[in-house]
Structure 1
Amino acid sequence: MMKKKVLFCATVDYHFQAFHLPYLKWFKDQGWEVHVAAAGSLKLPFVDKKFNIPVQRSPFQKMNIEAYKELKKIINKNHYNIIHCHTPMGGVLTRLAARKVRKKGTKVIYTAHGFHFCKGAPFINWLLYYPIEKVLSSVTDCLITINKEDYLLAKTHRFKAKSIKHVHGVGVNIEEYKPVEQSEKFSLRESLGYRPNDFLMFYAAEFNKNKNQELLIESLALIKDEVQNVRLLLAGEGTLLNKCKEIARKLDVSDNIDFLGYRKDIGNLLKISDISVASSLREGLPVNIMEAMSSGLPVIATINRGHSELIDNEQNGYVIPTNDSNSFALRILEVYKSKVLCKKFGLAGVNKMKNYSISRVILELKDIYSVYMGEDTNETQSKYNRSYI
């Protein structure tokens, strides 16, 4: 009997390395053949075939026409049982390319990692992305949303996917991201060049307009005289990195900020930190916040659908109006001055993340996949590698 096949598609292959390896492995554990199609040449585990196709993030790039043609050839040739696509352009091109095979029985699943149109989004986003997602929902067997606002939007706007589901994001590894004892925190700090009495605020994100690190730099400038040992740790790269460095110089806080660049040790950086901060304008369901909460950190973040889904205001952190550096600074001071509050927020965050663990999301996705797999998958969770849970 021929192996059943699943194809995962996205804009770039790093998306799978960062968020979906446990789910690729899950299909392998069921005896399925796993294929991946995305731009990039990363070598991914748990994958039988990988296709490097020139998907571009912008819908206006001509290379997307070539990517569509290649995707269509791959899909028509390989006779997939299930196709699961991710990211906006990965979702658009894959669903267009799979229209013919879907009529022959291939099931098409799309995970929306945060609709580009949402409450507060620019009008151009609604003008461009809303009609695309609405139309393509009609060639989607299951639309998966990762936050409640997107789920309700798809339901109330009558998206025509055969099924609309909500899952708790891509999952966080609560065994890797967990609180540490004070002695381990201080030892790690010393190894990374920090002092026990430093007050460390951490944010990991690409430097772009949406991530809005400028707000954090402005807030830091407002508290630096009152919290003389404060340091803002900013991990990431991007087009606005140099602009943020210049803003830090103008506000005289360069000595209080560490621009860390691309880092692979986010877990350790969270372990040494006192609080997590986040300044983005829009989020679907941010993994960086889930990892911070799972690590036991209080979170202070701007209001958007992703942050508001994770942060219960005054329970496990604070949500602040967008671009209000004064309010942001005041909330930082509150947490800085109260160890009791800091501990309360941290514990509440850890408890909340139990619902967002990889093991929880595996079960949610298993229930969805089982509808389209044509077989009972109840016994498969016992085979799952606990290292990912």
Structure 2
Amino acid sequence: MKILHVDTGKEWRGGQRQALLLHEGLLENSVESYLAGNESGKLIKKCKKNCIPYRYKGEINPVSIFNLKKIIDHVKPDIVHSHDAHSLTPSLILKYLGFKYKLVHTRRVDFHIKNGLMSRWKYNNKNTDSLVAISEAVKNILISDGIKRPVEKIYSGLDMSSVVKLSDNKKNDLRKKLGINPGDFIIGSVGNFVPHKDFATLIRAFRLVYDEKKNVKLLLVGEGELLNEMRKLAEDLNISDKIIFTGYAENVDELMNIMDLYAATSQEEGLNTSVIEAMMHGLPVVATKAGGLPELVKDDYNGYLCDIKDYTGVADKLTILLNDEEKTHRFSLNSFEISEKFEEAHVVEKYRNLYQKI
């Protein structure tokens, strides 16, 4: 069985991370797997084995279709697995042109499908052999958008054995490097600064938290189009010296070692692997009820759920945990327990079974 994964994204986000983890996991389980990633993207630079740069110029651009054809001619896969909406289109077109492979597509976002003919065609056609949603929330949106075909659900996952655990000395060194005082509590969040992640709600919530508890800082890890706007919001709220914006960071795993709580205030969210990673670090999570987040965060068990854009509610829940050491410890243990369900090995096994079935 030979699998070709295709992803067109230039950025390094959860979808690219999942494509690479699945590719590597299949190779470790003796499945012949190849990964075609955007030649200008971060994914292809991180791929170490059976990696093929894909010259992508747009989903219906003849150059993209021709270049994917060359890759498929070379690999001769039994299954093509498209990992983003833009890679699904050329993969489908080549099937219509007579290429004999099975096609799997994973839908990772909880956005509604656009009403255009192209979007509807991509998700409601007989040439996609299996459509996979990464959460129950994504699956329900596909169904509500009129997708008639069966939709599989396979959660995203991470390799728990690769989670970095720093010694106390290294934690202290990292905190010192970031200008964090020894007694400071750290609320952390990781993600791209894009509209649906809604970091503005978290920053406004933090302003209220800081009013109640002065020895607290907010650690925001990531880059994106709204980063400067969020810096300006922090300045306007007079808390810019209490918020650490790291920008893009390779050491996200290490940074989670110095967080005491984790927050995710998205307006839309397919699942959120950064929350899974935080849970693997045993962090209690305060999150909004967006998309798949309630499938990770169980209210009053490993964290709290708040209404979308409700920054006062987020602030209240963060403050409760900052002031209740016993509850924070209990939520921490529960977070780690839940995270075991999202171990990468389970994801690889489920996709392998799906490939064999089709």
Report the secondary structure of 2:267's partner residue.
Answer: coil
Where does residue 262 of structure 2 map in the other structure?
276
Q: CA deviation at 1:31?
A: 5.6
Tell me which of 85, 88, 100 is aligned to 1:88. Answer: 85
Q: CA deviation at 1:180?
A: 6.8
SS at match of 1:238: coil
Post-superposition Cα deviations, 1:93-135, rounded to whole Å, max 9, x if no partner, equal 3223333345x3x111111112421xxxxxxx54248624433
Moved more, 22-31 or 224-233: 22-31
Matching residue of 2:95: 98
Work out the CA distance in 1 between the residues paired with 2:218 and 2:88: 36
Map of 2:22 onto structure 1: 23
Cα distance in 2, alignment partners of residues 153 and 215 from structure 1:
24
Instruction: Give the drift of 1:76.
Output: 5.0
Alignment partner of 1:108 out of 103, 107, 118? 103
Is the 1:179–1:294 Cα contact (8 Å) retained in structure 2?
no
Q: 2:277 maps to which residue? A: 291
**Residue in 2 that maps onto 1:131:** 120
Task: Give how far 1:266 is off.
Answer: 0.8
More moved, 331-340 vs 8-17 = 8-17
What is residue 386 of structure 1 aligned with on the other side?
A: none
Asked whether the equivalents of residues 193 and 226 of structure 2 are also in contact (C-alpha less than 8 Å), the reply is: yes
Tell me how far apart the structure 2 counterparts of residues 180 and 53 of structure 1 sit (CA, whole Å). 39
Q: Matches of 1:100 and 1:152 in 2, distance apart?
A: 31
Cα offset, 1:218, TM superposition: 0.9
1:327 aligns with 2:281: no
Determine the C-alpha separation between the residues in 1 that align with 2:241 and 2:267: 26
Once the two structures are aligned, what percentage of the paired residues are identical? 25
C-alpha contact 2:26 2:32 (8 A) present in aligned 1:
yes
Corresponding residue for residue 148 of structure 1: 136
Deviation at 1:157, TM superposition (A): 6.3
- Which residue, out of 177, 183, 204, partners 2:190? 204
TM-score when normalising by structure 1:
0.81
Question: Alpha carbons of 1:316 and 1:8: their partners in 2 closer, same or farther (altered >3 Å)?
Answer: same
For 1:31 and 1:196, the matched residues in 2 are separated by: 48
Aligned to 1:40: 40
| Counterpart code for 2:27 | K
How many angstroms does 1:195 deviate by?
A: 2.4
1:314: how far off? 1.2
Q: Which moved more, 1:47-56 or 1:247-256?
A: 47-56
The answer as to whether partners of 2:261 and 2:283 remain within 8 angstroms in 1 is yes
The alignment's TM-score, normalised by the length of structure 2, stands at 0.88
Are residues 32 and 300 of structure 1, via their aligned partners in 2, closer, same or farther at CA, if it must alter by over 3 Å? same
Contact kept, 8 Å, 1:35 with 1:50, in 2: the verdict is yes
Alpha-carbon distance, 1:271 to partner: 0.8
- Between 1:26-35 and 1:197-206, the stretch displaced more is 26-35
CA distance, structure 1, for counterparts of residue 24 and residue 311 of structure 2: 43
Q: Which amino acid aligns with 1:135?
A: N
Q: CA deviation at 1:227?
A: 0.9
CA distances 1:259-318 after superposition (whole Å, capped 9, x unpaired): 111101111111101111112111111011111111111111122122111111111111
SS where residue 25 of structure 1 aligns?
helix
3-state SS of 1:323 partner:
coil
Partner of 1:261: 247
The one-letter amino acid of 1:48's match is N
Structure 1 residues 305 and 369: alpha-carbon distance in aligned structure 2, compared to 1, 3 A threshold: same
2 CA distance for matches of 1:314 and 1:107? 43
Cross-structure match for 1:375: none
The 10-residue stretch of structure 1 (8-17 or 313-322) with the greater mean CA deviation from structure 2: 8-17
SS in 2 for 1:6: strand
CA spacing shift, 1:31–1:176, aligned 2, 3 Å: closer
Equivalent of 1:6 in 3, 7, 22:
3
Gaps of 5+ in 2: none
Counterpart of 1:165 in 2: which secondary structure?
Answer: strand
For 1:181 and 1:352, the matched residues in 2 are separated by 24
How has the CA–CA distance of structure 1 residues 153 and 213 changed in structure 2, closer, same or farther, with 3 Å as cutoff? Answer: closer
Q: Which amino acid aligns with 2:52?
A: K
Whether 1:347 and 2:347 are equivalent positions in the alignment is no
Q: Which residue of 2 aligns with 1:384?
A: none
Aligned length: 352
Question: CA offset at residue 73 of structure 1?
Answer: 4.3
Inter-partner Cα distance in structure 1 for 2:337 and 2:33: 36
Cα distance change of structure 1 residues 11 and 54 upon mapping to structure 2, 3 Å threshold: same
Match of 2:227 in 1: 241
